[in-house]
Amino acid sequence: MKLLKPSPNLSFIVALFFTVAVSVANAAGPIPAAPKVAAKNYILVDADSGHVLAEKEADQQVEPASITKMMTAYVIYRELEADRLSMDDMVTISEKAWRMGGSRMYVEVDSQVSVHDLMKGLIVQSGNDATVALAEHVAGSERAFVDLMNQYAATLGMNNTHYLNSTGWPEEGHLTSARDIATLALAIINEFPEHYAWYKEKLYTYNNIKQYNRNKLLWRDDSVDGIKTGHTESAGYCLVASALRADMRLISVALGADSEKSRASVSQSLLNYGFRFFETHKLYSAGEILNRSRVWKGESDKVSLGLLQDLYITIPRGSYNELEAVMDVDASIVAPLEKGSQHGAVRVNLADEEMLNAPLVALEPVAEGSIFQIAKDHILQLFN
């Protein structure tokens, strides 16, 4: 990768998911199109950069089936983080939870089960009974819990998602999209890595009943460590898979496949495509000083500029040395400055095509200078 260098100031655009242009020609050669797979909707995303490597109808609203339970788990993690819930808390199993059909953990009505055990039942066994029991314990009722689910979906920017229950039980208007599911998967992995480890567990035994994780890729591919399956007659067979190979993590979302075998094959094909033809690199760290710039009319005449977040890029494999990073620093930076205020951008190009454009911000505040400093700098600016 070529060294960072300054250039005239330009505007910037930042996107949550930036689609890598697979037609870019470089030293590594062109990238083939994504494989044709038997899923109605899919998306393949790099977990660090957020770059989308392949997609099909990724914004179409569809039924999520038990993929819904990813948001149920996310809400639980938030409650645990806020100390409003503990893994050791005991939950009384209601009749409603006990009567839930579909996949079950087989808890007994009126029994006391720990949050820890119920979360295992939700994640590994996809238990509808465990899911409803947790929802009722946290919010008093499943309906109230669903309000929390929708609030967090809005906060995460899941604009095509609307939940009506905590389990994914078929209900008209209970919808999401492949892109929104990928957004949620990224949030679970990045915000709660200590809890994410449970998604790779292959089996869980409760009440002397042993049940296996329905994610078949956990047995086929050692790099796969999650995340969730789903199936109803109307939604088809769905799988959210995540794999880590050589520090590169990819997330695939495959919806509407016609069998368990098909959803596993679709996901494996997408993951293999991503790992085979792309690579991800961390370019700069959050808080790393990339530039020391002149400040006018401030207590200090210099400010450190850098990035608020780590900057990753996903590019065609073998093209790292073709990257060129350029800094666009504002021509005039005038105090007072707040920490985090934008004063330029970092652009990263590949083969003359802009791949990334991230804001360059002040890493520390700079207060307004004295009357003397302001007057002096005003005169100097006139001559400059």
**Over the stretch 203-236, which tens digit does the pLDDT of each residue have?**
999 999 999 999 999 999 999 999 999 999 999 9
Average pLDDT over residues 268-275: 98
Res 110: pLDDT: 97
pLDDT digits (tens, 9 = 90+) for 243-255: 999 999 999 999 9
DSSP, collapsed to helix, strand or coil, labels residue 60 as: coil
User: Is the separation of the CB atoms in 226 and 124 below 8 Å?
Assistant: no
> Could you report the per-residue pLDDT of 63-99, keeping only the tens digit for each?
999 999 999 999 999 999 999 999 999 999 999 999 9
Q: Which of 49, 69, 94, 120 is catalytic?
A: 69
Active-site option among 66, 177, 262, 293:
66
pLDDT-above-70 percentage for the chain: 92
pLDDT band per the 50, 70, 90 thresholds, residue 186: very high
Residue tagged 């660090």 (tokens): 48
What is the pLDDT averaged over residues 22-47? Answer: 79
Average pLDDT over residues 163-185: 98
Q: How confident is the model at residue 15 (pLDDT cuts 50, 70, 90)?
A: very low
CATH annotation of 41-257: 3.40.710.10
State yes or no: is 69 an active-site residue.
yes
Domains 2-25+283-383 and 41-257 share a fold: no
Model confidence band, residue 6 (pLDDT cutoffs 50, 70, 90): low
Domain locations along the chain: 2-25+283-383, 41-257
pLDDT band at 332 (very low <50, low <70, confident <90, very high): very high
Q: Which amino acid is at 146?
A: V
Q: What share of the chain is helix, strand, coil (3-state, %, to 5)?
A: 30, 30, 40
Backbone angles phi, psi at 73, to 5 degrees: -65, -40
Confidence of residue 380 (pLDDT cuts 50, 70, 90): confident
Q: Examine the pLDDT at 23 and tell me if it is beyond 50.
A: no
Whether residue 311 has pLDDT greater than 80: yes
CATH number of 2-25+283-383: 2.60.410.10
What mean pLDDT is predicted for residues 320-344?
Answer: 95
Q: For residue 12, how far is the Cα from the chain centroid?
A: 22
What are the distances in angstroms from CA 353 to CA 274, 315, 319, 347? 21, 12, 13, 10
Task: Please report which confidence band the pLDDT of residue 28 belongs to, taking 50, 70 and 90 as the band edges.
Answer: low
| Given the residues 49, 94, 103, 126, the one annotated as active site | 126
Residue 375: the pLDDT is: 87
Question: pTM for the full model?
Answer: 0.89
Alpha-carbon Rg for the chain, nearest whole angstrom, is 25
Residue 293, pLDDT above cutoff 60 = yes
SS3 at position 142: helix
